[in-house]
Amino acid sequence: MTKLIFEKSVPGSNAFFLPPVDIPSVDLSATIPQDFLRQDELTLPDVSEVEVVRHFTELSHRSFGVDDGLYPLGSCTMKYNPKINEWAARLPGFASLHPYQPESTVQGALELMYNTDKMLCEITGMDRYTLQPAAGAHGEMTGVMIIKAYHQDRQDSKRTKMLVPDSAHGTNPATANVVGFEVVEIKSDEEGLVDLGDLRSKMNDEVAGLMLTNPNTLGLFETNIMEIAAIVHEGGGLLYYDGANLNGMIGVARPGDMGFDVVHLNLHKTFGTPHGGGGPGSGPVGVKSFLAPFLPVPLVEKKEEAYYFDYDRPQSLGRVKDFYGNFGVILKAYAYILALGGEGLRSACEHAVLNANYIRHHLRGVYHIPFDRICKHEFIASSQYQMEESHISTLDVAKRLIDYGYHPPTIYFPLIVKEAMMIEPTETESQARLDDFIKALKDIAREAQENSELIKTAPRTTPVNRLDEVGAARKPKVKWEAAQ
Amino acid sequence: MTYTPNPPSVSQAMLRSIGLASMEELFADVPADVILNQPLNIGEAHSEIALRRHLQEMANKNINVDQFPCFLGAGAYDHYIPAVVEQMLWRSEFYTAYTPYQPELSQGILQAIFEYQTLICNLTGMDVSNASLYDAGTALAEACHVACEASRRSKIVVAGTVNPQYTHVLTSYSISGNTEIVTVAAPDGTADLDRMLKEIDKQTAAVIIQQPNFYGHLEDNIKILEQAVHKQKGLLIMCVDPISLAVLKSPAEWGADIVVGEGQSLGNNLSFGGPYLGFMASTKKYIRKLPGRIVGETVDLEGRRAFVLTLQAREQHIRREQALSNICSNQALNALTASIYLCSIGARGLRAIANRCHQLAVYARDEFLNKGLSMKYELPFFREFAVKVDNPAQMNKMLLENGIIGGYELEDSLLLAFTEKRTRAEIDKLAALLGGYNHD
Amino acid sequence: MNIPQDLLYTNDHEWVRVDGEQAYVGITDFAQDNMGDIVYVEMPEIDDEIAAGDQIAVIESVKAVSSIFCPVGGTIIEINDALESAPELLNEDPYENYVAIVKMDNQDDLDQLLSPAAYEKLCAETN
């Protein structure tokens, strides 16, 4: 068992100290009234540098990243993170810039942001981007706020509802709710696509817009997209594009050409920036020009070869984040786009879609494939056969995959498919890796028939096996406390 | 560059094996009228050598804080980052991982977050911490949602001394109609007690106060505000500076219910404003209303200690349209950075840094006064304060010409911050330059 | 599936036991079975005034969350404190462990509820 860093504390072992300074030493109590000073003891671990290094190295060994192996989490786009980008983000000329420095001293950073805006516009067919949102969900929130600001500006106060498909990511309905909309769910049809009849029946003058992911979370392209756009627009609503699955159509088709009015992107998915174990991400939001006045401040503008922040935008919804966005992430996405170029982005998309279809094709007959036709970057398999024959659930299959050296796919999502496994291999996996992964899933299906106990008790190769999650939630223990 | 490993011969074979002849057939379901019939107009692929050259050139167009000493603060601070912090962040098991949804495979990251939560609790004195949020401003907005939900009210009374950028985020978020933000002007450098007290009533969900405040000064009426808002059954939300907590009274000691703050100072690069992390902690009472991820301790089937994302029923992927927050990611890597930083310097180190910042700020104040300059507010400060100048923009320009990145421009003054990286020589030069232009 | 004969039921799997003008409200065996291990119950507050159909509580399992809608209108006069520290009681005996007691405004609300036989049919159809 790995000790917590607090349990490794040896008083006096931390050797950090500051250089001497030739100014009068000040006793805090002389310059700050006693009432403001801390009385409580401050407990931090007291450890040597070597122990800090060993501790976090040990923790890294108990973690699993894309660099460790195939990571087929559906809708998460766990592609390889190019190393040149990590180098770039650490350049002092980027990493050591204070956000309030004079504009004359940050022209390179501003130019990079300006260019990123322009490139994202071209990639998605939109007219203007804000780079401020910090993550996908944050981009969604910004986009939905823009929709609200637009209707408010037109004094169209009746539009209090937001349409969200039943296959949507949880962030869509949650976002609509926190921005103050009532969520109305749209059914999927038997093909796994937006049910046009249901959409028509729910589209009216109380609807602000429709949030849509395309390809959707089943990995299917919404083939009726032009009709969907027409229904929403004719009803006076706006069409929102959740960019989580852009990797399934980048370079091939653009949301801006499909009638989407607002788009958010996930730079940490489509544009290869690392997920960081759960962040930081970056969620730029692009709009058609009629919505540009509502974008958050500031935007980067250019005048006579000089770049500057434009705060003078009277219709702006304000700001959704401190400063200008996750610049350190944005610059990695910028580097990624430059590295691949226009044709490279399309090629990446093609390989991502090929890899997903390759796995889908070769799992046929072994796992249930509820929508068994050409998919985009991801597809849904299910453990329905295994459940019926051997009471092996998707959770069991997922845990057994860990023993085979894989991160499991997204499981039990989307909610409309029972025992769902959402598999997204991305374009950065080789055929050999895909073949091994397919073989592992087939081996597990065989084990389900022959030795189901092996699967139900998986994983066996990890430092811990299955956890008591019920106990954790009933009596939450969320910090370490010294034994009394 | 390309990062796709399959050469054309392999991808052709793969296509054949699934009964397709070309890549185009993979997109046969995309309607012809939305298919893009030309390459994206973003230029050709770059070789790594060319890309590296370009990125270096872009970086070189900037002046960074290691080239010119920087006296800017106002929410982001140029503190020293120990080498060990930067080194550990290269572990790609950390930075290329996803959210630890599969605990058996992610004990390292889960334990790191659990340790981070403990560190934040110890710094703030609070009972529980989440796994981090985007930054201080958005954390404050999320804290307002918690307060509104818990109190079933919507009015938020904000001291005028809270960082205006955070207040801007709050007012922008209030487009939801779920919160009503009332900012109480503070002309004298600390919260205006009388006007704040008048605003605190039975509709008040929370009072927000920042310590030290935006102007660097110490708010002296927190206790009175705490009693007033609690009497009305509202919450006290405090926004705090984590470095200052080594020496200043903890928000728990002040009686806060929810605490947020900007964690950038804890080992994170300035990085032109992000990525940073917003921390959030609260009393036990609000644990099931906190936004974002929380890691809890549990055991595995054999009774071994283990860590897992817990209380997930709060979150958007389960609660969907009933979720109080839409937040999905945390700032895991930035939170990890904060943890490694705090473990590297320890409590003595953090106190030494806090003391040094204060010592340098006091020295600077004395030098400014010696040079005939005056303070905007004559009040106790921690490591930041505003000094009066005739033309702040012009002063910053002058300082820049002399190799100094100056302060944050207020109407009649420059807000200057002093970290342990600053030296006597740098401060002497700053004082001499400012003193040369501004004296009564 | 246990469906006591002396209770009334709702389409959302709540039960009601009538005692004079007081109504005990809880969740059914079917509901607790579907939820799995219940880890937390978010309770209403005493003196809350509610209309029939209002959400009065939320129950959480590890991976799911479900609202409890009050089948009758009135005032909450008592809550089952034991559930706050031991939510598993709802799994162990959902009929012994009510969630709240409501003082009813209008007994007519009861007319909208399902008989045990009708509820049994509903459960059979849902399965």
- Inter-chain contact A134–B317, Cβ cutoff 8 Å? no
**Which residues 231-270 of chain B have a CB within 8 Å of chain A?**
245-250, 252-253, 262, 269-270
Cβ contacts (< 8 Å) between A469 and chain C: which residues? 62
Q: What is the mean pLDDT of chain C?
A: 93
Q: Which residues contact A67 (CB under 8 A, 6 or more apart)?
A: A81, B92, B93, B96
A108 with B58: CB under 8 angstroms?
Answer: yes
350-409 of A, contacting B, C-beta below 8 A? 350-351, 353-355, 357-358, 361-362, 373-374, 398-399, 402, 407-408
Does B1 sit within 8 Å of A112, measured CB to CB? no
Compute, in degrees rounded to 10, the torsion defined by CA atoms C71, C73, C75, C79.
0
Distance of residue A397 Cα from the nearest chain C Cα, in angstroms: 18
Taking only residues 146 to 205 of chain B, the set having a beta carbon closer than 8 angstroms to any beta carbon of chain A reads 165-166, 168-169, 171-173, 175-178
Whether residues B26 and B157 fall in one domain:
no
Q: How far is CA A438 from CA A348, A352, A357, A363, A434, in A?
A: 21, 16, 12, 7, 6
**Residues B142, B172 within the same domain:** yes
Q: What is the pLDDT of residues B63-89, one digit of tens each?
A: 999 999 999 999 999 999 999 999 999
Whether A469 and C40 lie within 8 Å, measured CB to CB:
no
Phi, psi of A428 (to 5 degrees): -95, 20
- Rounded CA separation B247/B383 (Å): 12
Please tell me if residue A23 touches chain B, with a CB cutoff of 8 Å.
yes
Residue A458 has pLDDT above 90, yes or no: yes
Please name every residue paired with B248 in a beta bridge, in sequence order, or none if there are none: A37
Q: Which of C42, C62, C67 minimises the CB distance to B312?
A: C62
Please give the pLDDT value at position B439: 53
Which of the pair, B12 or C65, is modelled with greater confidence?
Answer: B12
CB contact under 8 A, A469 and C62: yes
B112 in the same domain as B24 = no
DSSP codes of every residue in C7-32 = -EE-TTSEEEEEETTEEEEEE-HHHH
Q: Answer yes or no: do A299 and A218 share one domain.
A: yes
Contact by Cβ (8 Å): A253, B33? no
Is the separation of the CB atoms in A237 and A108 below 8 Å?
no
Cβ contact (<8 Å) for B30 and A44? no
pLDDT band at B93; cut points 50, 70, 90: very high
Within an 8 Å CB–CB cutoff, is residue A473 touching chain C? yes
In a domain, B75, yes or no: no
Same-domain status, B27 and B94: no
Q: Establish if A36 touches chain B: CB-CB under 8 angstroms.
A: yes
- CATH code for the structural domain at C8-107: 2.40.50.100
Q: Which chains touch A (3 or more CB pairs under 8 A)?
A: B, C
Both A424 and A285 in one domain: the answer is no
Alpha helices in B208-284 (DSSP H): 222-231, 251-254
Q: Are residues B334 and B350 both part of a single domain?
A: no
Asked if the Cβ–Cβ distance from B288 to C42 is below 8 Å, we say yes
Domain harbouring B162, CATH code: 3.40.640.10
**In the 3-class helix/strand/coil scheme, how is chain A assigned residue by residue?**
CCCCHHHHCCCCCCCCCCCCCCCCCCCHHHHCCHHHECCCCCCCCCCCHHHHHHHHHHHHHCCCCHHHCCCCECCCCCCCCCHHHHHHHCCHHHHCCCCCCCHHHEHHHHHHHHHHHHHHHHHHCCCEEECCCCCHHHHHHHHHHHHHHHHHHCCCCCCCEEEEECCCCCHHHHHHHHCCCEEEEECECCCCCECHHHHHHHCCCCEEEEEEECCCCCCCCCCCHHHHHHHHHHCCCEEEEEHHHHHHCCCCECHHHHCCCEEECCHHHHCCCCCCCCCCCCCCEEECHHHHHHCCCCEEEEECCEEEEECCCCCCCCCCCCCCCCHHHHHHHHHHHHHHHHHHHHHHHHHHHHHHHHHHHHHECCEECCCCCCCCCCEEEECHHHHHHHCCCHHHHHHHHHHCCCCCCEECCCCCCCCEEEECCCCCCCHHHHHHHHHHHHHHHHHHHHCHHHHHCCCCCCCCCCECHHHHHHCCCCCCCCCC
Mean pLDDT rounded to a whole number for chain B: 96
User: Does B379 lie in the same domain as B314?
Assistant: no
Residues 87-126 (B) with a CB less than 8 A from some CB of A: 87-88, 90-100, 102-109, 111-112, 114-115, 117-119, 121-123, 125
Tell me the CATH number at A452: 3.90.1150.10
**Alpha helices, DSSP H, located in B18-62:** 48-60
Segment A209-221 shows an average pLDDT of 96
Cβ contact A169–B342 (<8 Å): no
Q: Check whether A478 has a pLDDT greater than 80.
A: yes
Residue of A nearest to C83 (CA): A474
3-state secondary structure of B147: helix
The yes-or-no verdict on residue B440 having pLDDT over 60 is: no
Contact list in A for residue B84 (CB cut-off 8 A) is 49, 52-53
In which residue are the tokens 């054309």 written? B8
Give the gap in angstroms from C-alpha A137 to the nearest C-alpha of chain B: 6
Does the bond joining A215 to the residue before it have cis omega, within 30 degrees of 0?
yes
Residues C40 and C71 sit within 8 Å (Cβ to Cβ): no
Mean pLDDT of chain A: 96
Cβ distance B313 to C65 less than 8 Å, yes or no, reads: yes
How far is A343 from B44, CA to CA, in rounded Å?
7
Q: Kindly report the nearest CA distance between residue C1 and chain A, in angstroms.
A: 21
Q: How close does chain C come to A473, measured CA to CA in Å?
A: 6
The answer on pLDDT for A256 being more than 80 is yes
State the residue for tokens 């990797």: A247
Report pLDDT digits (tens) over A225-237.
999 999 999 999 9
Q: Identify whether B65 is part of a domain.
A: no
pLDDT digits (tens, 9 = 90+) for B319-360: 888 888 999 889 999 999 999 999 999 999 999 999 999 999
C111, exposed or middle or buried, with CB in 10 Å at 0-12, 13-18, 19+?
exposed
Residues B94 and B52 both lie in one domain = no
> Which among A307, A340, A373 is the end of a domain?
A340
Do B392 and B412 meet the contact criterion of CB atoms below 8 Å apart? yes
What's the CATH code of the domain at B368?
3.90.1150.10
Domain assignment present for A79: no
Residue with tokens 């799992």: A363
Domains in chain B: how many in total? 3
Q: Is there a domain that residue B3 lies in? A: no
Q: For C59, which residue in chain A has the nearest alpha carbon?
A: A474
Q: Do C60 and A412 touch (CB under 8 A)?
A: no
Contact A327 B271 (CB under 8 A): yes
A354 vs B317 pLDDT, higher one: A354
Domain end position, chosen among B316, B340, B364: B340
Set of chain B residues whose Cβ sits within 8 Å of the Cβ of A33? 218, 220, 380
- Give contacts of B149 with chain C, Cβ < 8 Å: none
Contact A180, A148 (CB under 8 A): yes
Average pLDDT of the segment spanning A463-468: 96
Domain that holds residue B129: 84-340
Q: Are residues B138 and B224 in the same domain?
A: yes
**Tokens at residue B183, please?**
């900012």
Region of A247 (left: φ > 0; alpha: ψ -120 to 50; beta: rest) is: alpha
Query: Domain limits of chain C?
Result: 8-107
Q: Are the C-beta atoms of residues B205 and B234 closer than 8 Å to each other?
A: yes
Chain A residues inside the 8 Å CB shell of C39 = 470, 473-474
The residue-averaged pLDDT of A271-293 equals 97
What is residue A273's predicted lDDT score, i.e. its pLDDT? 98
Segment B414-420 mean pLDDT: 98
Q: How far are the Cα atoms of B191, B222, B375 from residue B188, in angstroms, in the given order?
A: 8, 16, 12
Over residues A318-332, mean pLDDT: 98
Residues A330 and A338 sit within 8 Å (Cβ to Cβ): no
Residues A260 and A215 reside in one and the same domain: yes
Question: Hey, are the CB atoms on A183 and B102 less than 8 Å from each other?
Answer: no
On whether both A199 and A284 belong to a single domain, the answer is yes
CA B313 to chain C, closest CA, distance in angstroms equals 6
- Under an 8 A CB cutoff, do B318 and C42 touch? no
- Taking the C-alpha atoms of residue A186 and residue B326, their distance in angstroms, rounded to an integer, is 20
Chain B nearest CA to A296, separation (Å): 9
- Report d(CA B368, CA B382) in Å as an integer: 16
Establish whether this prediction's ipTM goes over 0.95: yes
What is the reported pLDDT for B438? 65
Residue A430 lies in a domain: yes
Q: For residue B5, is pLDDT > 70?
A: yes
Domain end residue (candidates: A340, A365, A399) = A340
Q: Would you list which residues of chain B are within 8 Å, Cβ to Cβ, of chain C?
A: 288, 311-313, 318-319, 322
Tell if the CB–CB gap between B248 and A37 is shorter than 8 Å. Answer: yes
Contacts of B168 by beta carbon, 8 Å cutoff, 6+ apart: A318, A319, B137
> Which of C40, C64, C67 is opposite residue B318, by nearest beta carbon?
C64
Nearest residue to B314 via CA among A92, A478, A447, A229: A478
Same domain membership, residue B270 and residue B393: no
Q: Which residues of B211-245 are buried (b: 16+ CB within 10 A; e: fewer)?
A: bbbbbbbbbbbbeebbebbeeeebbbbbbbbbbbb
What pTM does this model have? 0.97
Domains in chain A, number: 3
Burial class of residue B390 in the structure, from the number of CB atoms within 10 Å of its CB (0-12 exposed, 13-18 middle, 19+ buried): exposed
**What residues of chain C lie within 8 A of the CB of A473, using their CB?**
39-40, 60, 62
**CA-to-CA distance for B408 and B386, rounded, in angstroms?**
9
**Cβ partners under 8 Å of residue B377, min gap 6:** B188, B189, B190, B215, B217, B385, B386
SS3 C76: strand
pLDDT value at A78 more than 80: yes
Phi, psi of C104 (to 5 degrees): -75, 140
B1 in a structural domain: no
Residue A74 lies in a domain: no
Query: How close A468 gets to chain C, by Cα (Å)?
Result: 10
A296 and A360 together in one domain: no
Q: Are B304 and B432 contained in the same domain?
A: no
Strand-by-strand arrangement of the B128-129 sheet: B128-129, B278-282, B258-262, B235-240, B204-211, B155-159, B180-184
Q: Which chains touch C (3 or more CB pairs under 8 A)?
A: A, B
Q: Which residues contact B244 (CB under 8 A, 6 or more apart)?
A: B211, B212, B354, B382, B383
Residue A1 lies in a domain: no
Contacts of A52 in chain B (CB under 8 A): 84, 88, 340, 343-344
Distances (CA, A) of A27 to A34, B348, B354, B356: 11, 15, 12, 10
Interchain contact A106–B (C-beta under 8 A)? yes
Average pLDDT rounded to a whole number, residues A20-38: 91
Same domain membership, residue A307 and residue A188: yes
The predicted structure's pLDDT at residue A484:
65
- Cα angle B37, B41, B47 (rounded to 5 degrees) comes to 115
Answer whether C39 sits within 8 Å of A412, measured CB to CB: no
**Do A304 and A430 have their domain in common?**
no
Are the CB atoms for B156 and B179 separated by under 8 Å?
yes
Report whether A123 contacts A254 (CB < 8 A). Answer: yes
Query: Which domain covers residue A313, as residue numbers?
Result: 84-340
Interface of B with A in 373-402 (CB under 8 A): 380, 382, 396-397, 400
Contact (CB<8Å) B313/C42 = no
User: Is residue B2 situated within a structural domain?
Assistant: no
pLDDT value, residue A2: 83
pLDDT value of residue B155: 98
Backbone angle region of C53, left / alpha / beta, with phi > 0 → left and psi within -120 to 50 → alpha: left
Task: Report the residue of chain C nearest B151, measured CA to CA.
Answer: C45
Query: How far, in Å, are B396, B397, B416, B437, C95 from residue B392 at the CA level?
Result: 6, 9, 12, 11, 72
What pLDDT, on the 0 to 100 scale, is given for residue B309?
A: 96
Contact between chains at A467 and B306 (C-beta distance less than 8 A):
yes
pLDDT tens track for B242-287? 999 999 999 999 999 999 999 999 999 999 999 999 999 999 999 9
**Residue of chain C with shortest Cα separation from A469:** C62
Alpha-carbon span B390 to B30, nearest angstrom: 63
Q: Which of B333, B92, B58 is nearest to A88 (CA)?
A: B58
Residues B359 and B327 in one domain: no
Q: Are residues B291 and B363 located together in one domain of the fold? A: no
